[in-house]
Amino acid sequence: MTALAHPPESIAPAPLEARDGGVPGVGAAPKPRPRERLMSLDAFRGLTVAGMLLVNNPGTWGAIYEPLEHAPWWGWTPTDLIFPFFLFIVGITTHLSLEQRRARGDSDAALAKQVLRRGALIFLCGFLLSLFPGFTWTTIAGHPDATFLDRVVHRWEHVRIMGVLQRIGVAYTIGALLSFRAPLRRVVVTLVVLLYGYWAILAFAPTPGTGIMGEIDVGALTLQGWLDRAVLGADHLFQGTSTWDPEGILSSLGAVASVLCGVLAGRWIAEPRPLVERVAGVFAVGGIAAVAGLMWHWSLPIGKNLWTPSYVVFMAGMAAMSLATCMWLIEEMDVTRWAKPFLVFGMNPILAFVGSGLMARCLYSIFTGTWNGRVVPIQRVIFETGFNSWLAPRNASLLFAMTFVLLWFGILSVFHRRQWFLKI
């Protein structure tokens, strides 16, 4: 993992290239094609990254406007758009990046090795972020005299294995390998089989231990919950649930499907057609997918926690329409001023996510201060004195989150001006 003076690939900026007019059937490797850079891809990704920072860092989790919270179980809010939108972009840039490297003459073995390496590094980044700082910094219940070694062991025994970056790493790797060198029809068939196969599992597979078939309403009783506890262990799940993980094993099937939807969009966007035709195609198919997802909701609810197939299709449709709108505004109408702030997030997504995650853990958990005569996390001191003391709780919480995003906009702007991009 290195910082380079050019944009990273796959989950960061990937140039588009117009096809050359080579003779079909010739065995020689295709020649690199002239680049067509679409700012809208970077801006759209940046919009999702900025949104992720906003919803992940409120002043207090006890006072949040409903659109900035995830849906409790079924349904969706604007917050539930963010992660599948990002995976949709991952699919697009994965296709463009692999095609570009293949055009340069990279062998299939080299490309597969690169995909596996990158996916593993993304997963490792997420795991190390979960592990940070490598020891339990609070008092261990029942062990007030725990040594530093005890705290290290306790942290390793309770570290969350899965997470956002881990899911991105898994979905990227599987999605890239499934679509690698595959003709369009094979990718479509793979996506359909994945969606309907996952639907069948959710609808008909019994949960071991209970024998309940098709349980999808109670996290602890779902097949996903059982699989997460059996494979990952109850001590290594998301703290807020402890009986299942929202980025767990089974629901990763849906996440892979989200990436494949992006791969299909990337194939269309790279077609040698007029831009307006490509934009119209993405928007039209997106609209159809969104309606299809809503109709599927009647039999299998839309839900992020299980990343249901209806959620995959609906969110892919919403992402496609949103991206098409960005493409039309930026590339076709040349309305770019609004998008430029998001480029600094979109061209450094890993740095934005990992860096902000480390900062948040330091502020919310590790560094402490005094407020009302009590020792509390330093974030609580900043929030109570600088925001909650003069604003209504929800407004104070939102302003804190917006300030956090603006802070990272400033940090990333420095990297952007110097052309420093974190590459994996």
Q: Distance between terminal CA atoms of the chain?
A: 5
CA angle 218, 219, 223 (to 5 degrees): 105
Q: Which amino acid appears at position 368 of this protein?
A: T
Q: What is the average pLDDT across 143-154?
A: 74
Q: How many domains does the chain have?
A: 2
Same domain, 359 and 269: no
On whether both 307 and 422 belong to a single domain, the answer is: no
Judge if 143 and 247 occupy the same domain: yes
Tell me the C-alpha to C-alpha distance, in Å, between residue 106 and each of 13, 25, 173, 264: 19, 19, 18, 22
Which tokens sit at 275? 């831009």
Q: Is residue 331 part of a domain?
A: no
3-state SS, one letter per residue, for 211-258: CCECCCCCHHHCHHHHHHHHHCCHHHCCCCCCCCCCCCCCCHHHHHHH
> Is the pTM above the cut of 0.85?
yes
Closest C-alpha among 75, 224, 182, 208 to residue 216: 224
> If you average pLDDT over every residue of the chain, what do you get?
87
Q: Please say whether the beta carbons of 23 and 319 come within 8 A.
A: no
Residue 62 lies in a domain: yes
Q: Say how far apart CA 400 and CA 381 lie, in whole Å.
A: 12
Question: Do residues 252 and 304 both lie within one domain?
Answer: yes
| Beta strand pairing call for 368-371 and 35-36 | unpaired
Beta strand pairing call for 421-423 and 2-4 = antiparallel
Same domain, 304 and 397: no
> 55 and 98 in one domain?
no
- Average pLDDT of the residues in 217-223: 88
Q: Are 326 and 282 in contact (CB under 8 A)?
A: no
The domain boundary residue, chosen from 316, 345, 365: 316
Instruction: For residues 349 and 7, give the distance between their C-alpha atoms in angstroms, rounded to a whole number.
Output: 11
Residues 129 and 191 in one domain: yes
Indicate the pLDDT class of residue 268, thresholds 50, 70 and 90: very high
- Domain-located, residue 43: yes
Q: Determine the pLDDT at residue 424.
A: 80
- Whether residues 293 and 168 share a domain: the answer is yes
pLDDT at 29: 44
SS3 content of the chain, % helix, strand, coil (to 5): 60, 5, 35
The answer as to whether 4 is a domain residue is no
Q: Which of 260, 281, 316 is the last residue of a domain?
A: 316
Residue 59 lies in a domain: yes
Q: Which of 240, 354, 331 is nearest to 43 (CA)?
A: 331
Q: How confident is the model at residue 50 (pLDDT cuts 50, 70, 90)?
A: very high
Same structural domain for residues 41 and 121? no
31 in any annotated domain:
no
Spell out the residues 6+ positions from residue 328 whose beta carbon is closer than 8 angstroms to its own.
Answer: 276, 279, 283
pLDDT greater than 70 at residue 139: no
* Residue 36 pLDDT level (bands cut at 50, 70, 90): low
Ramachandran bin of 147, using left for φ above 0, alpha for ψ from -120 to 50, beta for the remaining angles? beta
Does residue 20 belong to any structural domain of this protein?
A: no
User: Which is more confidently placed, 16 or 391?
Assistant: 391
- Among the three residues 286, 316, 346, which one is the final residue of a domain in this structure? 316
272 preceded by a cis bond (ω within 30 of 0) = no
Q: Higher confidence at residue 159 or residue 49?
A: 49
In a domain, 128, yes or no: yes
Same domain for 108 and 163, yes or no, is: yes
Tell whether 135 and 191 lie within a shared domain: yes
Same domain, 308 and 381: no
Domain coverage including residue 284: 75-316
